[in-house]
Amino acid sequence: MRRCYFDHNSTTPVDTRVLDAMLPHFGEVFGNASSLHAFGQKARLGVETARRQIAAQLDCPARDVVFTSGGTEADNLAVFGTVRASPQPTRHVITSQIEHPAVLNACQQLEMEGVDVTYLSAGTNGLVSPSNVRTALRPDTVLITVMHANNELGTLQPIAEIGAIAKEAGVPLHTDGVQSFGKVPSSVDELGVDMFSLSGHKIHGPKGVGALYVRRGHQLRKVQYGGSHERDRRPGTENVPGIVGLGAAATLAGRDRAAEAERVASLRDLLERLVLDRIPAAHVHGAGSPRLPTTSSIRFEHVEAEPMLIALDLEGFAVSSGAACSSGTVEPSHVLLAIGLSRAQAKSTLRFSLGRQTDAAEVDALVDALEAIVDRLRTLSPAWAAAS
C-alpha cells in the first residue's frame, strides 16, 4: 500500500541533500565548535556558515542569529528573555489566543510571576486585528508576540502592520515564524520584527535545532545558565550536525521557495475544490485570508475528526486533526475555538498540510478515500441523520 503524507506542518522528512551536508559532522568533523584548535575551528566553520545561510533568508546580519534546540526554545528565549530583561516595575505583554503553546504557556508562566498578559482574539477569518493590538497597548507594555503563520489554519498574520504599530509605540515585537520560514518571504526588516523564531524540522531539516533572530541592541536576558556560547545568549555545546543541517535546509527552501509555493498552493486549492464539490457540509477555515500555500483546515459537519484520522491512516493517508490529545482526552483545538467554532465543530476538523513530495495523484487519492470515509461515518451519526 502506498502511504501518502499530508502532515508536513507537524514535521517534514529530512532532504537527502541536507543529510549529505550533515554526515561529515557526525564523523570526521567531530570537534567542539568552541575549541580553539584546528578540530574545533573546522566545526566552527560549519556553524558560522549555517548562521550566514539562515541570515540570508531573514535578510539580517549573521551575528543576529542565535541557535537553539528548536522553535519552542526560541519562543521561550524571546518571551522570557525580553520580559525579564525589562526594568519596568510593572510589565504587560500582548499576544493572541491562537498562538502555539510554546508562546501561550510561556505567557501563562509569566502571569504566575506577576506579569499582566492580554490575549487578543482572532476573527472568524483567523486573523489578529492590528487595531486591536494598538488598542491593547499600555504604558507598561514590554512585548508584543504574534505568530507569523498559524500552524493549524495556515493564516498569515498582518505582522508588518503590527510591526509598524510596535515601532511607533517603542515596544519590541516577536513573531513565531516556525511555520512560515522557508515557505513565504521572511525579511525581518520588511516585517518590522525585533525577534523571529524558526525550526529545522519544518523545512526538511533535522529535528532538535532552531534559531532566534534578535535585532541588534534588543535587550534579552538568557534563560539558561552555563558557558558564554551564542554571544552569551544560549549556553551549551553547539549541536554542530543539526546546525549545519538547518543551514542547508534554509538555503534549499529559499532557493526553491517561489516555485514550490506556487506548485503547492495549486495542489491545496485542488484539494479544497474537490472536497467542497464532492463532500456535502464541508467548510474550509480561513479560505478568504492570506494563507500558507501548504495548509488547509477543513471541517466536516457531524463527523468527528478522530475516527476520520484513524480511517484515513488505515487507507495509507497521514493527516492531522484540529484537536490536541492530552492525557488520553481529546480536547477541541484552542485555535478553532478562538475563531468562533463550537466544540463540536472544532472536533470535526482535519488539517491537511502539503509538502515537497505531494503531487496531484496523491491529492486525488486522498479525496477519494475521504469521500468514502465521511459518507460511511455519517451513516452512523444520529446528528447527521437529524440534519439531513
Q: What is the mean pLDDT of residues 237-259?
A: 96
272's grid cell: 479544497
Q: Averaged over 177-193, what is the pLDDT?
A: 98
Strand partners, 320: 351
Amino acid identity of 320? S
Fold adopted by 4-10+257-387: Aspartate Aminotransferase, domain 1 (3.90.1150)
Q: What digits encode the pLDDT tens for the residues 96-112?
A: 999 999 999 999 999 99
96 torsion bin: left (phi>0), alpha (psi -120 to 50), beta (else): beta
pLDDT confidence of residue 359: 97
CA distance 276 to 267: 14
Point out the catalytic residue in the list 4, 60, 107, 325: 325
What's the average model confidence in pLDDT over 349-369?
A: 97
**Which whole number is the average pLDDT over 323-331?**
51
As a whole number of angstroms, the distance between CA 349 and CA 282 comes to 9
C-alpha 188/C-alpha 197 separation (Å) is: 11
At residue 14 the predicted structure's pLDDT band, cuts being 50, 70 and 90, is very high
DSSP secondary structure string for all residues of 136-189? H--TTEEEEE--SB-TTT-BBP-HHHHHHHHHHHT--EEEE-TTTBTTB---HH
Q: Looking at residues 356-366, what average pLDDT do you find?
A: 97
Provide the whole-model pTM.
0.95
Question: What percentage of the chain exceeds 70 in pLDDT?
Answer: 97
What does the domain layout of the chain look like in residue ranges?
4-10+257-387, 16-252
- CA 330 – CA 38 distance, rounded (Å): 53
More confident residue, 118 or 383: 118
- pLDDT beyond 70 at 72: yes
Q: Once rounded to an integer, what is the mean pLDDT over residues 181-200?
A: 98
Q: CB neighbours (10 Å) of residue 117?
A: 18
Q: 323 pLDDT band (50/70/90 cuts)?
A: very low
The whole-angstrom distance between residue 156's C-alpha and the CA centroid of its chain comes to 11
Report the pLDDT value the prediction gives residue 327, as an integer from 0 to 100: 37
Residue 66 pLDDT greater than 60, yes or no: yes
Q: Please answer whether residues 230 and 382 qualify as being in contact, where contact means their C-beta atoms are separated by less than 8 angstroms.
A: no
Q: Which of 263, 285, 276, 291 minimizes the C-alpha distance to 358? A: 263
Average pLDDT for residues 162-174, to the nearest whole number? 98
pLDDT grade, residue 385 (50/70/90)?
low
**pLDDT, position 322:** 61
CB 131, CB 158: distance < 8 Å: no
Angle between the 240-278 and 38-58 helix axes, to the nearest 10 degrees? 30
Residue 88 has pLDDT above 90, yes or no: yes
Four-residue CA torsion sign, 290, 362, 2, 299 = positive
* Mean pLDDT along residues 181-197: 98
pLDDT at position 209 is 98
Which residue in this structure is represented by grid cell 517561489?
258
For 21, 213, 249, 260, the CA distances from 254, given in Å and listed in that order, are 16, 17, 9, 10
Multiple choice CATH, 16-252, 3.40.640.10, 3.40.50.300, 2.40.110.10, 2.60.40.10 = 3.40.640.10
Q: Which pLDDT score, from 0 to 100, does residue 2 have?
A: 81
Contact between 196 and 211 (Cβ < 8 Å): no
List the grid coordinates of 330.
481529546
Q: Which residues make Cβ contacts (< 8 Å) with residue 27, sequence separation at least 6? A: none
DSSP state of 352: E
The SS3 of residue 284 is strand
**In this predicted model, what pLDDT tens digit does every residue of 32-65 receive, in sequence order?**
888 899 998 999 999 999 999 999 999 999 999 9
Please give the residue that has the higher pLDDT: either 198 or 326: 198
Overall residue count recorded for the chain in this entry = 388
Residues 161, 162, 168, 174: is their CA dihedral positive or negative?
negative
Task: Verify whether residue 325 is a known catalytic residue.
Answer: yes
* Interstrand relation of 349-353 and 295-300 (parallel, antiparallel or unpaired): antiparallel
- Rounded to whole angstroms, how far apart are CA atoms 39 and 33? 8
pLDDT for 348 beyond 90:
yes
252: left (phi over 0), alpha (psi -120 to 50) or beta: alpha
Instruction: Tell me what the mean pLDDT of segment 136-163 comes to.
Output: 98
Q: How confident is the model at residue 355 (pLDDT cuts 50, 70, 90)?
A: very high
Per-residue pLDDT band at 157 (split at 50, 70, 90): very high
